[in-house]
Amino acid sequence: LRTGFPEVIWSPGKTPDQIAQIMEVMRLRNPVVMATRIEGAVYAALQSRVRGLRYYESARICAITPPEIEPRYPGTIGIISAGTADLPVAEEAAVTAELSGFHVQRLWDVGVAGIHRLLNNRHVLTSASVLIVVAGMEGALPSVVAGLADCPVIAVPTSIGYGASFGGLAPLLTMLNSCAAGVGVVNIDNGFGAAILAGQILRTAEKLRLASSDS
């Protein structure tokens, strides 16, 4: 039912052999096949087994793709992250969105403790059709962003932090309690899921546009 999106493998608990096999089956029915949560050593093992495999290192994603991946839908997915350590999750979102045919604009390292970096880059918030906001520790960024932007905001808590972060529980609760309405939250570290939701939003927009131009 998610035709148009890549085939995806969630790798934890699977051997390289199993991943390679599933990828080979999937490539028969879909031009884009991707596997998430791939550490460097697993990629090394996959490389010889799967022809034409690309590795997006900081996103920890392996993918089989056509030579060129062009955006196929109008609109931009803005992806914003709070700290350097949140990057792998933010990149998981970005690469998933790009492999799914969407245009992505990245804005890294604009945590709320230095609000001016965010304010100086407000054009990213304004020009996006949907925003993904990634933050660990206290996870306050999505609230601030949702207050500044006028589009749907998807919040991704990360497990970055220590002590009373309790593995990402702290930013998760922060985001669920956001006093800025219009924020949807996904699981801790789930950059992938955020990208799929953002993609669904742009596809819905495209369907409505086609429907309106039909009539």
Ligand X SMILES: Nc1ncnc2c1ncn2[C@@H]1O[C@H](COP(=O)(O)O)[C@@H](O)[C@H]1O
Site residues (CB under 8 A) for a second copy, limited to 54-93: 74-75, 82-85
* Shortest distance, position 188 Cβ to ligand X, whole Å: 10
| Residues from 129 through 148 that contact a second copy (CB under 8 A) | 129-130, 137-140, 143-144, 146-148
Nearer to ligand X, 29 or 68 (CB): 29
What φ, ψ does residue 179 adopt, rounded to 5°? -80, -5
CB closer to ligand X, 13 vs 67? 13
Residue spans of beta strands (DSSP E) within 4-82: 7-10, 33-36, 53-56, 61-64, 76-81
Least separation in angstroms between residue 31's CB and a second copy is: 19
> Using CB under 8 A, which of the segments 24-32, 42-50, 52-60, 175-183 binds a second copy?
175-183
CB atoms within 10 A of CB 54: 15
Taking residue 170's Cβ as centre, other Cβ atoms within 10 Å add up to 18
Dihedral pair phi/psi, residue 105, rounded to 5°: -120, 125
Using CB under 6 A, pick the residue from 6, 83, 139, 168 that binds ligand X: 83
Verify binding: residue 100, a second copy, rule CB under 8 A: no
Q: Which does 175 bind (CB under 5 to 8 A by kind): ligand X, a second copy, Mg ion, none?
A: a second copy
Residue 74 tokens read as 């109008």
Q: Does 146 bind Mg ion (CB under 5 A)?
A: yes
- Nearest 5°: CA angle at 214, between 211 and 215? 95
Q: How many Å apart are CA 86 and CA 136, to the nearest integer?
A: 7
Task: Please give the Cα distance from 159 to 137 (Å, whole number).
Answer: 8
Give, as ranges, the residues between 2 and 61 that touch a second copy (CB under 8 A). 2-3, 8, 10, 12-14
Residue closer to ligand X (CB basis): 124 or 186: 186
